[in-house]
Structure 1
C-alpha cells in the first residue's frame, strides 16, 4: 500500500510511543496530586510544556494542552471572541476566511447562532489565498477576532499569515491561525508569524490521536470553554493527559524544521518530489486541473480535479491499485456535497466533485510517487471509460 493521506492522519512514530509509554504504565499519577506519583506526572507535564513552547518560540505559560486541533480552534475562536465582548459589548463580530476548517467555521457560526455575533467571511482568490486587501475590506470597528488558517487542509495553499496578522493588529484585533496542517512543514515561530493564538494537533505529526495544543499570547483575554478544577491556568479544566502532552511535545521536537523557505530539511526534499508528482499527473491525465496555489503550497499536498469522473470512483479505483488517498478533508467524510473550499475558489460544483487530494509524510519516496502517478493515470482512464458515475 502507498499511503497518500497523511493530511488526514499520520502513523505514530516509535520515538513518540517510547516517550509517552511510562505515563501510560508505571508513572500513572495525576499531576495535581501532592505525592511522588503526582509530582512525577507534574514534572513530565511541565517538561512537555517547555518543549512545546520551545518549538513554537513562546513561553511555557502560553501553551494550553487540548484534546486536539478541533478543541484548540474552538477554544481560540469562541474563547477570545466571548472574552473580548465581555470586556467591550461593541465587539460583536468575527472574521474568518472562506476556506477555514469546519472547527473554525462552526465555532464562528455557533457565536452567530447562540451569542448574536456577526460573521464576516473573507473571500479567497482562485488559488484559495486571502489577500491583505480582502481582509482589509471586511474589518469593522466591532471585529473581535480574525481567524485565517496557516495552510489549507484540502488544497495545501499557504496563507500570508504574518502580513494578515500585522493588518489585524493595526486595527487592534487579535489574530488566530489554525496551523494543524502547517506543523512539521512550515516555520511555527509565533513571534515571526505575529499571531496571538495558534492551534496544532498531534496526530498530524506522528503522535496518537486525541492531543493538541493552543498557543495563546500572554495577556490575551480568553473565556474558558471547559470549567472545573482550574487546570491549564484556569483556561482548560480537567485532569491533564500527561502521556498525550509528552507525545505531542516529542512529535513537535522531532518534526522541527526551518521549513520550505529555509532551503534545508525534509520539507525541501518532499516539495521536490511533490512537484515531480504534479508534473507526472498533469502530463499523464488529460484535462487534470491542479487546485490550490502552484507555488505557495504545503510541500506535502498535491490536489487535483479530474473533470469527467467521480472523485469517489477514482478513489476506489486507486485503492484497488494499492494507493490510498482522499477526496478532501477527512472531517467532511460522508458528505456528498462539493467541497466548500473549492467552491470558494470559484471552481464549478460539478468539477469540484471530481476532487482528489494526495498528501505525503516525510518517509515518502520518489519510487512510490512514480508508481502512484501511474496508478492515477490508469484509475482516471478506467473511470472515464465507465462514465462519470464510475
Structure 2
C-alpha cells in the first residue's frame, strides 16, 4: 500500500504541474491584476490539494481500520454479526456465514427472514433470530441466552449468545451486536464431570456397604432355599420363589455397585466384535422370544478391535436387553456393526419401542435413574463406564412411541495400556 509520504509527494507533483500549466498557457499581458489572479489560482489549487489529501488520508485510514476489524472478526471462532436498527445485516464474519450456510450470499442490507430464503435447512432458525432480537430490543440492555442450533449431520450445537442493543441519543434504535460462542464441548465436559462425581459418590457408597450387604444376603438366600426344599406346601413354595427372586435382584444390584466401586483390571487383546455381538444375541434369544420380540443382526465384514471381550459382552447384554424390554409385542430389535471411520467402528442397537423423552435422554446413564418400574439405572451407568474404559462413546437418539437408537462407537486400536485399571 502507498505510504503517506509518497501520496503527499504525488499531490505536490500534481500541484506543480497545474501551476506550471497555468503559467504556460497564460497569453494575456502580465499585468498586476493578472499576476494577482495567478497567485489566487495557485493558492486555491494548493488549498484544494491539501483538502483532498486530508480527505484521502482519512478515507484510507478508515479503510485500513475496517480491514483490521474484518480480519479480527474473521479470525474469531465465535459467530459475530452487526445489524442496523431495523435488523438488517451490516457485517458478519466467515464463521457465521458458514454456520448458517450463507457463504457467497450478498447478505448486507437483508433481514434474517430475507436471508432465510437462501438456506432451507436454517430457514426456521433465521426467522427465530428476529424474534430473539426483538426480545433484546425490548429488554433495552445486554441480553444473554443459550440457543440450540441443529447441524446437518443430525446433532445440535449449543451457543452462548450475547446481544447488545445500541441506541441514538434520542432513544431510536441504532444497531445490534450479536456474538455467539459454541459451548457444546464445554457442556459435554461439565456433564462428564458431574457424572464422574456421581459415580464417585456411588462408588464410595458401594465400597462401604456392598460387601456388608452381600455377606448376610448369601446366608438369607441359603436358608430360603433350604426352607423351600423342606416344605411340601405349594403355596409356601410360591412365596419362597418370590423371596429368592427378590434376593437375586438385590444380589445383582450389589454386583453392579461393586463394579462401579472398584477399578476393574481388564486384559486387552484383539477380538471380533461381530462374534461377540452374535454370542450375546444367542444368549438373549430366549428372552426376546418370551417378550415376542424379533432379533435381527445385519451381517457384513468382520471387524476386529483391541478390547476386553468379557466387558464388551456385558455392555452388549445391557444395551440389547434394554432394547428388548422397551419393545412392544411383535416388536423388533436390530443390531448392526459397521465402520464409523477409518479408526472406529459403530455398533447400533435399534428398537421400535416406546422411546424416551428429551428430558430423560439428558439424564440417561445416571445411577438410580431409570424408566423401568424396578430399574436402578445402574446397567447403563456400568455400560457407559465400559465404553469409557475402551476410549469410546455412546450416543442416544429417541422419539416417543417411535423407538430408540443407541450408537456405541469404539476405537479399533485401544487408546490405553493393556491390563490397566
TM-score by length of 1: 0.23
More helix by share: 2
More strand by share: 2
TM-score norm. by structure 2 comes to: 0.22
* Bigger relative CO (Cα 8 Å, ≥ 6 apart): 1
